[in-house]
Structure 1
């Protein structure tokens, strides 16, 4: 390391090499004399006596002052980043260590835990530090201080931190550590939790968790259109916009900066699936929906950003417009009447629902902390919707911020709170408990993301929430609507002719009194797709072809005869292959 300024050798030795020596000596039944696990400040005869029983060598450390190191370098003793600009370095192992980790004494008394001394130990399990509230991420042996009586631990660096904090933006006085475990309510989050460290101001009777001291003051969350600001009191009783429970106005929370009657608990507002992690205090406002999707050319004529030709607005009746082969380019649903925009070029069949033509270019979704961008550049590419788990084509919203890229279709993107399901009497809200699976009331599949009713035990997954409420059946002149079976006289499905379960959802024609299983009517293939050529998925070209032959073909994937209206067709060295639509989603 040419940028490292080497000082004379220190009397300390490389912790990584020293531990390897000790473990090796232990397994080889060597006797080790006068050498502690991580702090062998040994000299002279002690080293000679060590070499008498061991063939290993201990590497010395250099004291370094490197301004280029920064916070990205990793300490090999505690496995945490941020060794600073002054640290120890082992030239043989080419690793760095915190000054505190190398010079740490075997036993300390800490104001963070005054009842018992803390012992310096190493362990191979995940470390939970009570100060920084983080765990080591690696499988190597880690260094930390530990109280075996209270199961209390600190990293060596955290053990040297001062026992008071000064953060005037949160509180005007110094905050001192409250070392006893007690059920105290935090004035910032309003939660009783003795697990994190607690700081207090006795002068003001102010109590705060350490991890709440630096909570942001102005944020934007996925569940609300406006910014939220932190407040210690609310003028009226409100329910939380995330968990739907009451917000106690005597403790900290977030409320809308636009004077909406909207508030969120501090803990709910700063969840990783709700908040994008940005502090917006003194930052300019940003409008997520400031781009129009089209330019008005004339009376009823527009230039949509997704199409090169002018489009004209038409209002069609249901009987004239229903055509299963002619679908909206954005959502791929048929037209059941209403306003549409049609391409004015005679040989172009590009059509958009009026609502789809007005889709915002940028959208904030309730289930994701970062905004989505409308993408229409290549509708031949199949994409996987991250919420309903369907494989689709057409318009999509894409978010590439954060850890991974996620795509969602325009129907899932349109879901907002409160969500109204026409068959259910109460509004639905997004699940507020991370990692908890619930059975969907329609498909019965357990999902971790559901829309929940706070009045009754009704849960709806995104797949079923985006099922079309109204559909057409080729042998029925009326609309079929999604509903819950209430009439016991409707005993069998019109397609499969099997007895209907009285607890399931179905499609029904109220005029004719006929009922259909959802799966029988829609099939495995979603109602949003139609025959198409040269679609790409995972590098393979597919065609979506009608399954209308007299003899149903055998699916190459499941070895059964596919009953769906559409199938996937692809070609390889063996020739033509046909698959069920679910082949994409496996």
Structure 2
């Protein structure tokens, strides 16, 4: 009985000690109670709800509250970014700039940790200390043990501590600074690292990645081979410096970037910013429509003409009529059945048979409204129908988005893409002769759609998609900063840059890239405009292929393009279905993202001398060789008969085989 009574008394004493705590935040002891009202913690500034366990001091109108975990924070601690000195907990009402997040206005008052050594201004906010793997407990005997150490980065020799500050270049982080350090004890060895680098934690957590990052004393060869960049600052790595990385996802950062807090981007500060990538079916209304509005053309947001009226159009030989998606869906299905188009043909992936393709921007016109901005400019939008222009002749398959139809006939200038004092006029490629395309001077892709030509520089041409690209964009591949389209003069000063999309292509002569003003991230304009997804009936009939900016997330191993069978850089942009584990270079999806993405093909012709049946101008996909010359023409343009599996390549038709380099007369070809 006596022992039980003594045990109860000991437990009661421990409870009293726990219920009251002496804290530097106040001269009187704080009592652990259950909060009866809402308040704010005097340590971290976060709210306290009714019913929370808090330490409190209450006297008349002088009330003070502390979360239980805030009151139990260590009074002294060490931090990997400042291991040479001990940090002491303080409570202050003075603004102090944090040495990690660099903000001064997170707390007007509250707990922070400060170095009290003479001349040292290292300060940590409470929120940068809590749950930080770089923070560790203070040990009084630790200073003696740190005079000489054996470090895993340099196992062959011991390292000795130099407390005297001297300027040197650290072999761990690569920065030059003047602070305490460790140097090798061997006279012939010049290994030298900061004291703070020597005691970095082996693993850390970052808000922008869902796995722990491990410390590595060398950059893995794979990262160098594929030119990986730091996921914080977008700069390249030097092979001999330390990094933090995720081995599973290949997320990698410099030492100096590992503890930087990423800025939280808010669109509200900059107004409305267009987000990329955008769906292919939203190009006409969201990208080109926004450009038309910026030019002051508002008419296209309402049906410009009554349904029964036909209008002339400068770039087509028939009149155009306004139709809605509701009136065209059934007729489009009838056209497909009449033409015998089979969407299930896995081998014939040469053209987009299940879509209406705009002859202006060469992107789909879907029969249902799926764009992120309504082309009617109204939330009601009359049963969600949407309008577009088509040829009044039933047999003529000429279509235009309403926004493409209203493109301004002349532009005073395009200052970011061309000379400020050069005007441009709207022109059109010949959709009846897709083998005569025009090459865009900005994206270096050929097009038979609408484009602008310079009135002074006759060779400068820019398609309407490149014309419509905004000066500033938000891109999912670089979510923390905005990207600005560089002017022609700024782009010229770069001489040559490597695109962070990993496309390995040189920029076009007149191309100005998108660049992050805060770091080194930079992409071609043509890469920034890649669609959000693509489809491939041959490889994946059931899922869309999504544009992936980093396929390594939760997927270790190598990547190979299922089309060209070449090894891919895991950090390059690719179209990928994670469920089916198939990946493609954007350029390997030729008609949607690659070489022919701006050319409308699929036109039907009668060529009497070549074949007895109607031929379709398309890419050769069902076999490899031309029936006339016998050469490998796989995925090259020409004329194809699906009934006979007959293909004649463009060059066999264009050049007479009996007379070298003699051009065939175009009268031999009749458009159906």
Q: TM-score band (shorter)?
A: 0.3 to 0.5
TM-score, length basis structure 2:
0.36
> Which has the larger share of helix?
2
Q: Which has the higher contact order (CA 8 A, sep 6+)?
A: 2
